[in-house]
Structure 1
Amino acid sequence: MTLFDPPAPLAERLRPRTVSEVVGQTHLLGAGKPLSRVLQSGRLGSLILWGPPGVGKTTLARLLAGEVGAHFIPLSAVTAGVKDVRDAVTEAERERGRGKRTILFLDEIHRFNKAQQDALLPHVESGLLTLIGATTENPSFEVNPALRSRARTLVLEALTPQDIRGLLERALNDERGLKDVQAEDAALELLSRLADGDARRALSTLEVAATLANPVTEEAVTEAFGKHLPAMDKNGEDFYNLISALHKSVRGSHVDAALYWLARMVEGGADPLYVARRVVRMAAEDIGLADPQALRLCIAARDTVEFLGSPEGDLALAQAVVYLALAPKSNSVYVAWKNALNAVRDSEMLPVPLHLRNAPTALMRQQGYGKAYAYYFDDPEGSFGQNYLPDGAELELYAPTGEGWEARVAERWRKLREAHGESSTQQLGTPESS
């Protein structure tokens, strides 16, 4: 072994050699579980392995191919293209002539665009290629429905701290690992927690920590690990789950939870401006007229983030999120707007009444445009007495809640409806949902 011929990384050296060595995923590999049954039958169909980084998707694909005696072609969607798929097809045809089936492993399959995924379809459908795709993204969003329908999706889970601890102990005892290295128990416990269920991260950190101290200490693990950023795919399901958790915590008026999810997003590298835009939406959707100042504050927070950037602007986001969580809640305008859109979409387009039409020309006035319109400031009573909806239309779209500022306008809303000759069949505080 020389400087120019370094050993493979610890995570690579410790790849399981058999299915029995795989750590975790007992819901797939345990007795009677899906992959166990597949291996017993020897009939392996196309699969999509969906799970977080470092849980063994690539390793599992290789082992499955070995268990069924198939030819294995690994590709990464980061660097591969349609030409590589064609080459794989040619190779699979050659192997079929030798009586051997071919498994095409496509890592990060979500990075293939629609045309590239479509290029796989006929060969997967014909059985020439058995596809095993690996992805950290939700296949429902990132894999074409046609391809998804031809492959079974299996969800791999993040490894537990106990799984990671067992893997670290194996690394210290296995002849392929760090057999001359010792580690303090506290150091292994710390690394088991910090790894976030990622075996590759745990082993890589242990390998670096072993160069800093032997036996490996907590301090060595901390130095080797670096800053602990929460796991978050900036464009994938984890990101939108965090957005959802933030929004629902604000809506539920849980200040601490809202701050926690905001911090997870910021520390995970989310675009602060995108988060700010979502916070503005929360103000419009869930606070509404219960506190009209909320929208202004959130717009100001967005401007502050744009002006200062991160991390200085993050405090403005935190202020906005706390304000929204504390604020009274009303979705009455949100519901009313959805009701209005549904009313427009679900009915014929009735003409604007003549008295409400614009009359900029003499000809239009001769046709009755604007005729008999009661101008409020000249004739308040007549203004309330005229119809503002298309003839024959009866709509009840908006219903104020009893929250905050909106509770104070509910009585005015009731009197206005009476003045217009309308009576509400809706109860305050219970607007119709759609």
Structure 2
Amino acid sequence: MAGPLPIGDPAPVDGRLPADLPIDLSVPFSAYLHVPFCRVRCGYCDFNTYTSSELRGARQDEYADTLLAEISLARRVLAEAGALRPMDTVFFGGGTPTLLPAGDLAKMLDAAASAFGIADGAEVTVEANPDTVTPDVVRTLVDAGVTRLSIGMQSAVPHVLAALDRTHQPENVRTAVDAAKDAGLAVSVDLIYGAPGESLADWEASLDEAIALGSDHISAYALIIEDGTKLARQIRRGEVAAPDDDLQADMYELVDARLADAGFEWYEVSNWARPSTGSGTESDNRSRHNLAYWRGSDWWGFGPGAHSHVAGLRWWNVKHPAAYAQRLAASESPAAGTERPDPQSHLLERVLLETRLSDGMAISDLPEGNRTGVAGLIADGLVDAASAFAGRIRLTLKGRLLADAVVRELTD
């Protein structure tokens, strides 16, 4: 299970938003629906997820109806605040959303669409384990209005999957991708690099397979060792080696080069998409839901442990599914805490998120005292000079590898 929740102010029992909240109805609105169930806990995972033996007091087959109660609460709260807007994006994450019957996911999506409305052309994504994707599941999701499937491939190499405690068969990734594409869904595959025992050749094999799948979006994340996970304990006991920073840097350079050669463009440090064939200025193959987070849009996170953000106000739900269900059964908000970041915290987050995007950040959005570091970042090869002279901070490849150092320089 994930680490402790943030420390914040007490959340109102009725979930009501503050009367002085500066809500801007032109800001896009998204919904995140958390499904906190997994068959097996992966050794590296720090997400708020639960196997069947960890549920204690909550039932997986009742989860959809419980989440519907939070949707009803959210509609009331947003309507009272004058903040109702149709959803531009919806994302089912986890956990493994497709461990639930596809009909349960359809029920939740229908309830959210009825409560808030859904914008024309909205992006609706479901995360999936390859072993849980079948043609029948895909057809039900498409009929419900899902437009995109995000498949947890992680690796194409069996010993790397074993090191990550992933249980799916590598060949099932292609089966899942083909089923989704045959049904007309957009497809993304997720990869992780730097697992114990993974070589550069292993990583190259996974990249080759991911490209050959024919998806239009690939995410590639460096393995991070989170406190409290099985993998952290194994490293502490000396059973496996910690990730090698230099090897992970080589792996990042390889994925960026290999995907560029295959026609992908990076749009966020860990995300690449094929250019759109449409007339828009942005690739339709980018994850619009994740862009909503990175650009500071509004969203409501449904489910245990889910986080929400509206007009600068943040709140987060109680973690355990049983506590979550108990709050809603008592007609109470499941929110555990809330906060409004101070200006310095807001600046730090904005720089952290916006500089990770290929569009970068406007230098004019930095306080004057924080702009002086840009010249040094250019000299160090971390920020693109031409973009900076045009008024934007855009990371070079070296800058992407050292993104945290860039953020420190711009916010200290």
Choose between structure 1 and 2 for higher RCO, CA contacts under 8 A separated by at least 6 residues: 2
Q: TM-score, normalised by structure 1?
A: 0.27
Q: TM-score, normalised by structure 2?
A: 0.28
Q: Higher helix share goes to which structure?
A: 1
Q: Which has the higher Rg, Structure 1 or Structure 2? A: 1
Q: Higher strand share goes to which structure?
A: 2
